[in-house]
Amino acid sequence: MNPLQLAVRVLRADSRSRASALFTMLGVAVGVALVVWLAATPGAIQNRADRESWRSQYSSGSSQENPADRPLLVVTNYDDVAGQRVHRFDVAALKPGIAVAPGIPRVPGPGEVFLSPALAELAAGKPAAQLADRFPGKVVGSIGDEALSFPDELVAIVGHAPDAMPSGAQSRADLARPARGGDPNELLLLLSQVGLVILVVPCLVLVASAARLTAARRERRLAALRLAGATPQQVVWMTVAETAVASVAGTVLGLVVGIPLRSLTAQIPWDGGTWFPADFTPSALLVVAVLVLAPLLVCLASVFGLRRVLNQPLGAANQHTKRQPSVARLLLIFGAGAVFFVGLGIAQDKGGTTAFVLVGLAAVAIALVLVGPLVTSWVGKLFTAIWRTPATLLAGRRLRDDPKAAFRASSGVVVAVFAGSLALTMFPGLESRIGFNDGTWKDGVIIAQTYGAPAKQVASVRTDMAKNGITAPVLAISEGSIGGKGDGSGQSRSAMVLSCTDAVKVRPIDISACQQGPAIYVPTGTRFDAGEIVLRSYGFGNGDATDVSLPAQVPIREYQPNGRGSSTIFVDPALVPATKLAVNSVAVVTTPQNEAIARTAILRNVVGASIYSNGAYDAHGDTLLGDLRRVTVIGLAIATILGGVSAGVAAAGSVVDRRRTFGALIAAGTPTNVLVKALRREAMLPALVATVGASVAGAFIGAGLLTLAKGDLILSPWLVTPAVLGLVVALLAAAACGPVLRKVTARAYAEE
């Protein structure tokens, strides 16, 4: 009889072996489904980056640089509608036949517009003055999914004549994707890589817990076969055959389950939109690798656990005390930490993540699992020495005699606590990177940043707004810097050519500061050196700057800024010749009712304008913050569920493995409630120590990863939450095995 036939016969005859095989299959299926999903996530991020890569491949020069080589003028800007960001591209072709990316029909000509399907639908459902008129011309085509970052993204490509483009337009060779592909979102890529490493470990713990559900019984059975004359090779192949049946079935099931999981994952939004389900399709190489490696690793783990059966079959048959873990395991923590921080240094030098960082992160997580039995043994020794109740003595003896099996119920929880502590260390720092308005502008003000808008365009904006009944002033603002004639660049201060009465309409400054007559208004405490004052205009968007000497003895008056960003100096327009200035931005005070119309009036008339408002900027920040929180919660929830399930399976497995021991104790008169208390303390005592250590390790690793994300380290009292939750999960898992224990009777000793 070959090993496979014998394994099948064992599964048919032994109900507990069938249960173990079923749990192993389910554990492998869950692990494979999660691993394939996580492994496909970096590819999904890259797919999104590749689709949008046509947008950002600009030249470094102006539109006048080598027009024959770069026959396309492009201006990229942003807008907002109904709380959603609109990506707009104003283009002008200098010759026909310019290459475009997949999903873009062609470069639109003057008066032609391409809209993404979602933007076209949105424009059709609103009055033209609120959205459609922002894209002057005729909609002649649609932007396909191949050119969109995510479904329902709002994108517009508006064609113009070359002479209608602003002087700051950049020249490009085409609208095609670059050969090297797109640059993925660094933060999301970092989170996905960390999540892949962190969540793979609890997946492996779950598989190991399921595979060890009846490990002691199988060990006695195989030891009996060894004593009956079976060779080590026969025992190994029997184990491989028995494990392969469950692991191969679980691997196939996991790959099948991963198909609907991809569709669910695609509904998780990031940066304003969801994903295309095809983004998460694993590569053929990944599928083949999982099909081979998953069963192989499970089989190798089972064979690795046969050392005592192969070398000491008599001791395995009689369940003699196992060897204690070596103190040398402590070196694993320090070694893994060294690998991580060395990799971190390499990554910082290269300006991104490297495989060394991820290897170090995985090494730390695995080291925590490997050091756990040593800590469990120490805890068992302590409680055996100071026991006061029978339950404490039984728990201490179990922890001391077989610390590896005793810690198995806590290993998944420890990894979950490590992941939680790492995430809560990183989250506040990542949150600080998200931008919100700093009070530079008043709420309700929209600011259109331009490439030097001509006066006739600003006049057209006023005309369009008046046609729609909006009487709010349209303020043309020239920007630059100001300082003394002999000041170096370090002494220059930000300045705007804007009267005080207009400034108080759009900036948070004290209205009582305005007085009659032209003057320079400076924040309280600002001082200029004696001598001539020079205003340097930022020019017309093409990099040129113009120096303007302000009149001698010009009045300098102070104002009290009320916003954090209000440190600008305001120069009255009467002090500066109009011919020396370019309009760098246009500001309009709006209300919620007329903001959309004001945006439309600006974008319809000022080519290349990009609009900013406090509300839109804060909404975008809220979106990113929500994305970050959502990803963190999902990752921690998965880690917690995996840790809790593996803890419950391991705790229940410990009862099944010790059925004979518990039967003997019950036959000797030990109350069942004492054994239940002992089981709870077995789970709680090592978890109490291990989760504290995992929390500290997670905080250190999280602080290191935060340097890659360029965030600030912000410690929070919430860092203790993972350890507390870990203890609760461990206690619940231990309590769950109570019903299993109550089914054990004194007859179990004879049956075993």
Is position 193 within any domain? no
Residue 539: the pLDDT is 58
Residue 351: the pLDDT is 58
**Which residue among 260, 285, 320 closes a domain?**
320
Is position 351 within any domain? yes
Specify whether 648 is located in the same domain as 613. Answer: no
For the stretch 228-270, pLDDT in tens is 667 777 777 777 777 888 889 989 998 988 888 888 888 888 8
Over residues 113-122, the mean pLDDT reads 95
Is position 453 within any domain? yes
Question: Domain range spanning residue 604?
Answer: 445-619
Residue 348: the pLDDT is 76
Is position 137 within any domain? yes
Q: Which of the pair, 426 or 539, is modelled with greater confidence?
A: 426
Q: How confident is the model at residue 59 (pLDDT cuts 50, 70, 90)?
A: very low
pLDDT at 166 over 60: yes
Percent of the chain at pLDDT > 90 equals: 16
For the stretch 561-594, pLDDT in tens is 776 556 788 989 888 887 777 788 899 999 988 9
For the stretch 611-656, pLDDT in tens is 999 888 888 888 888 888 888 888 888 888 877 777 777 777 777 7
For the stretch 694-728, pLDDT in tens is 888 888 888 888 887 777 777 777 777 777 777 77
Specify whether 485 is located in the same domain as 430. Answer: no
Specify whether 528 is located in the same domain as 636. Answer: no
Count CB neighbours of 319 within 10 A: 18
Residue 64: the pLDDT is 47
Residue 395: the pLDDT is 80
Specify whether 554 is located in the same domain as 639. Answer: no
Q: How confident is the model at residue 597 (pLDDT cuts 50, 70, 90)?
A: very high
- Rounded distance between C-alpha atoms, residue 336 and residue 359, angstroms: 9
pLDDT at 65 over 60: no
Specify whether 289 is located in the same domain as 368. Answer: no
pLDDT at 490 over 50: no
Is position 181 within any domain? no
Over residues 362-389, the mean pLDDT reads 85
Residue 66: the pLDDT is 52
Over residues 114-135, the mean pLDDT reads 93
Specify whether 29 is located in the same domain as 127. Answer: no
Q: How confident is the model at residue 330 (pLDDT cuts 50, 70, 90)?
A: confident
- Kindly report which listed range (110-119, 142-151, 174-183, 342-351) carries the lowest average pLDDT score: 342-351
Residue 88: the pLDDT is 94
- Rounded distance between C-alpha atoms, residue 276 and residue 151, angstroms: 7
Specify whether 702 is located in the same domain as 712. Answer: yes
Q: How confident is the model at residue 676 (pLDDT cuts 50, 70, 90)?
A: confident
**Which residue among 300, 320, 340 closes a domain?**
320
What DSSP state is assigned to residue 530? S
Is position 199 within any domain? no
- Rounded distance between C-alpha atoms, residue 366 and residue 357, angstroms: 14
For the stretch 737-747, pLDDT in tens is 667 677 666 55
Is position 329 within any domain? yes
How many domains is the chain partitioned into structurally? 4
**Which residue among 320, 341, 368 closes a domain?**
320
Do 183 and 54 form a contact (C-beta atoms < 8 A)?
A: no
Question: Whole-model pTM?
Answer: 0.79
For the stretch 501-548, pLDDT in tens is 899 889 888 767 788 888 888 888 887 765 667 887 765 444 455 778
Specify whether 360 is located in the same domain as 295. Answer: no
Tell me what the pLDDT averaged over the chain comes to: 81
Do 559 and 522 form a contact (C-beta atoms < 8 A)?
A: yes
Specify whether 334 is located in the same domain as 427. Answer: yes
Specify whether 300 is located in the same domain as 270. Answer: yes
Residue 499: partners with Cβ closer than 8 Å, 6 or more residues away: 518, 570, 572, 573, 574
Is position 605 within any domain? yes
Specify whether 682 is located in the same domain as 635. Answer: yes
pLDDT at 135 over 90: yes
Give the sign of the dihedral formed by CA 417, CA 423, CA 429, CA 434. Answer: negative
Residue 531: the pLDDT is 64
Highest mean pLDDT range out of 152-166, 368-382, 513-527? 152-166
Specify whether 545 is located in the same domain as 691. Answer: no
Pairing mode, strands 445-453 and 138-142: unpaired
pLDDT at 105 over 90: yes
Phi, psi torsion values for 475, nearest 5 degrees? -100, 120
pLDDT at 101 over 90: yes
Q: How confident is the model at residue 598 (pLDDT cuts 50, 70, 90)?
A: very high
Count of H-run helices and E-run strands, the chain: 22, 16
pLDDT at 62 over 60: no
